[in-house]
Homo-oligomer: A and B are copies of this chain.
């Protein structure tokens, strides 16, 4: 294993450990000591990659987007629905994603990190809505920036309610219902009628995302023919 590749793996191991600790304890109560123990790496390795607790938290927030990767869709509003469903699916199963929610919503962490994550989400959704507008999928009066804000904020509220009321057991179903409630305000009828918005779709999108990640990893580790 090349040195660079080893560094990438160590970094990933640290971020997974940090995510687990942040997810369980929140930002204030998490300690670098516990993250070290959980990751099983040396103090030097950890500080080489992340000089502070804040750097670790910021690393977790960026890293979550790697497990939310999807192929772009021809229908951009379907891509938005699929992203919302995939995030719900991961939120229940991957601490990188659920730690992000806790870090950006609670206490000291929220002040430092919430702004950053929320802004990244709104920008990501706005990008998809701008593409949807280009493709003629949006009703003429829709302002992609405003709708991106409302979609992102509303999704977060759904996550908070599902988390508080039943430990996220119904998250995919509630996210599907959320899209059913919001999309009639932005989608042209011809597109609205064709969107697939079901809780079951979340697992399918996640399986596709997992396959893509495995392929990418295979391509990275396989000897390159191009040399």
Contacts and interface: CB of A to CB of B under 8 A. Distances in A.
Interface in A16-57: 26
A111 to B, nearest CB: 8
Interface stretch (A76-84, A180-188, A198-206): A180-188
A97 interface: no
Given A106-B107, A185-B181, A174 B160 contact: no
B165 A115 contact: yes
B164 A110 contact: yes
A8 interface: no
Contacts of A106: 105-107
Contact of A181 (B26, B157, B182): B182
A161 interface: yes
Given A185-B181, A185-B184, A186-B181, A115 B150 contact: no
Copies of this chain in the oligomer: 2
A147 B159 CA distance: 15
A209 interface: no
A80 to B, nearest CB: 13
A77 to B, nearest CB: 14
A26 B107 contact: yes
Given A181-B186, A185-B180, A149 B161 contact: yes
Given A147-B181, A184-B185, A161 B118 contact: yes
A118 B180 contact: no
A164 B114 contact: yes
A150 B174 contact: yes
A94 interface: no
B185 A104 contact: no
A185 B187 CA distance: 11
Nearest to A122: B161
A158 B165 contact: no
Q: Which 3 A-B pairs have the closest CB atoms?
A: A157-B157, A154-B154, A153-B161
